[in-house]
Structure 1
Amino acid sequence: MPRFAQLVMGPAGSGKSTYCSTMVQHCETLNRSVQVVNLDPAAEHFDYHVMADIRELIELDDVMEDDSLRFGPNGGLVFCMEYFTSNFDWLEECLGHVEDDLSLCSSGQIELYTHLPVMKQLVEQLQQWEFRVCGVFLVDSQFMVESFKFISGAMAALSAMISLEIPQVNVMTKMDLLSKKAKTEIEKYLDPDMYSTLEDSTGLLKSKQFKKLTKAICGLIDDYSMVRFLPFDRSDEESITIVLQHIDFAIQYGEDLEFKEPKENEENKPSTFDEFFQERVDE
């Protein structure tokens, strides 16, 4: 049977750790076993259990403090990840052969999947281990409330999608931190009409210098529906469920899984995702 994995990506501060924590808690209510793998050698602490931690293999501080290397933070990160790609057997041993419902792989900086082949190599290795992998690209919704910033976030998501060549779900995080006015404003970026959005918000389409380039970018995003974002509000159960549904659909989760009996003293809890979803429909 196949195993399933989310590769959680996004710029620094986009909420990767918070996303993993929220998804772990949500899946536990569905009686779905979830394991988290930390692939950030600069990470500091987590409020959830980590099944595998790259810091057990190599740690950024050790690389930076090594007198023979003398790397800075960015060079040290690249060195750590290149060392990781040479030691995939460590990850295989950590993952074992237990058919967990889902593994969340939280990565580090954005350069790892836009400029370096590290994450592409990881995806190919996971696929060889019979994982169905879905990319989850996170962008801070507070960053996306202006049109030119939205274009930047959309292009970063598109770059990761093209680089990794796997199904990808793009998510706007921290929706619970937005004001009511900002939430109303950001609606147009969740299902955007790119041309009207830019005409209303900036002078990019009116600028002769950037008009052709801006139209080409808008066409790529708008005409081909290449990039769409889902809102993620960690305080809203329905928002979390919708994001998880899209991910499950992308990796065809549930098609080969057997029914799980509920845990002791939890007979009233839904034992599968389908039962939980059906209860929400009935409500």
Structure 2
Amino acid sequence: MRYAQIVMGPAGSGKSTYCAFMQRHAEDMKRSINVVNLDPAAEHFDYQPIVDIRDLIQLDDAMEDEELQYGPNGGLVFCLEFLIQNQDWLRTQLSGGSDDETDCDPDDDYILFDMPGQIELFTHLTMGKELVNLLESWNFRLCTVFLVDSQFMIDGPKFLSGTMAALSVMANLEMPHVNVLSKMDLLSKSARSQLDKYLDPDPKALLGDITEESSWGRKHQKLSQAIGALIEDFSLVRFVPLNVEDEESVQDLLMQIDNVIQYGEDADVKIRDFDPPEENDDDDYE
């Protein structure tokens, strides 16, 4: 069995940083986690990817093509479509450059797929779902990980926006899913004091900020209340905090994701053989 995380989130939510710190944490644990870059617009990241979509196609290729003439958003969509159409290239790269998929060691094959920051790819377009289905057909056990910057989740309107984005991704991809509040280390003391408010949120209370403080909220009060009730009554969205400077925080999150994808449960139980105790030949103890 092969394991993978599909790392998603809005631009600037810390996806590449998440992948880099997860990889370093795994190295400290004597564990192997590799990263695949599937963002054709990436310019810099703090990890060495085993596969890089930019070796197949770059965003500039789509934007500078005289026939296509895409903008940044359309170019990203085209690049992901091009990847799906050239899936044999991706499978070969994941297999270490061999056309034989069995060349991969399934016991050590744990991969983070660092995705573009265009969440339309996962909220309503088909490319995200097609990629998930493709990886599942290659014997990957997957978990989708959706990052939201914690600095933008501490008031009612922002909470509603982030929660609905996460819910849209969950509904579209239909996969085991973990929502992460990233950049907890960047929160101010006053913001951290509100930690419980948005880690285990009361949607109705948070959405009260919308209905009381804006004309739109007052006009659509019943709609906001209905959304809050939907989130609360069905426990659809919960967030896990992540502070990349705290090893315990990284470990707790990795453990949750490992449980979701059942990482290691297929491994053989390791036992240690002990030598039998030596017999006592001393006749003085008869």
Q: CA deviation at 1:186?
A: 3.3
Find 2:115's aligned residue among 107, 118, 121.
Answer: 107
| Structure 2, unaligned runs of 5 or more | 96-103, 271-286
Partner of 1:52: 51
Please say which structure displays the higher CA radius of gyration. 2
Q: CA deviation at 1:208?
A: 5.0
CA contact (8 A) 1:199 1:205 kept: no
Q: Deviations over 1:121-172 (max 9, x none)?
A: 0110111111110000000001111111011001100100111110110000
**2-side partners of 1:198 and 1:159: how far apart?**
18
| Structure 1, unaligned runs of 5 or more | 261-283
**1-side partners of 2:246 and 2:7: how far apart?**
20
Is residue 17 of structure 2 the alignment partner of residue 18 of structure 1? yes
**2-side partners of 1:224 and 1:21: how far apart?**
34
Is residue 128 of structure 2 the alignment partner of residue 119 of structure 1? yes
**1-side partners of 2:267 and 2:165: how far apart?**
34
Q: Deviations over 1:19-77 (max 9, x none)?
A: 00110011111121111011111001221110111111111112211112211111111
Moved segments of 4+, more than 4 Å: 204-208
Give the match's secondary structure for 2:91. helix
Q: CA deviation at 1:79?
A: 1.1
| 1:7-86 map, 5 Å | 7-86=6-85
Give aligned-pair identity as a percent: 57
Give the match's secondary structure for 1:45. coil
CA contact (8 A) 2:241 2:249 kept: yes
| 1:1-283 map, 5 Å | 2-96=1-95, 97-99=104-106, 100-108=108-116, 109-199=118-208, 203=212, 207-258=217-268
Q: Deviations over 1:71-90 (max 9, x none)?
A: 11111111111111101111
Give the match's secondary structure for 1:169. strand
Amino acid corresponding to residue 8 of structure 1 in structure 2: V
**2-side partners of 1:218 and 1:111: how far apart?**
23
Q: CA deviation at 1:259?
A: 6.6
| Alignment TM-score, normalising by the size of structure 2 | 0.86
**2-side partners of 1:211 and 1:45: how far apart?**
44
